[in-house]
Structure formats: C-alpha cells, structure tokens
Amino acid sequence: MKIVIDYDLCEGNAVCMKVAPEVFTVGDDDRARVINENPAEDLRSKIEAAVRRCPRQALSLKD
C-alpha cells in the first residue's frame, strides 16, 4: 500500500498523526509527513481511518 499526501490540500491539522502516529507526523511547516513508507498490513485500518478523517481530504491510499 502507498500513502499519498496532497500538499496543496494539507493544512497540518494533525488528525492523521493522532489516528496513526506510527505512520504520520506533522512538521514545523504544518504539513503531514509519512514516517513509515512501508507500513505493516496490520496498520491498514488505522491508515484508512486517517484517510477518512482528514478534514481537507489530503490523504489517499493506493494499493
């Protein structure tokens, strides 16, 4: 699975980081970053929740 962040939409609300801190962080520039480029399959449900809960819909998941 590949996590895609649309930086034109990301506002750094940190919802993704709260939902899946093993996968996301938010930098000083208020932009989300993927810190785990190859997350284990057991994190899929957390990642999917982060994608759904992103207030700006800046995240997507590709298989």
Express each pLDDT in 13-44 by its tens digit.
Answer: 999 999 999 999 999 999 999 999 999 999 99
Q: How far apart are CA 45 and CA 63, in angstroms?
A: 14
Q: What is the CATH number of domain 2-62?
A: 3.30.70.20
Residue 8 one-letter amino acid: D
**What is the average per-residue pLDDT within 34-61?**
97
Question: Where are the domains positioned within the chain?
Answer: 2-62
CA dihedral 5, 7, 50, 35 (to 10 degrees): 60
Residue 63, pLDDT score: 83
Contacts of 11 (CB under 8 A, 6+ apart): 30, 55, 56, 58
Q: How confident is the model at residue 62 (pLDDT cuts 50, 70, 90)?
A: very high
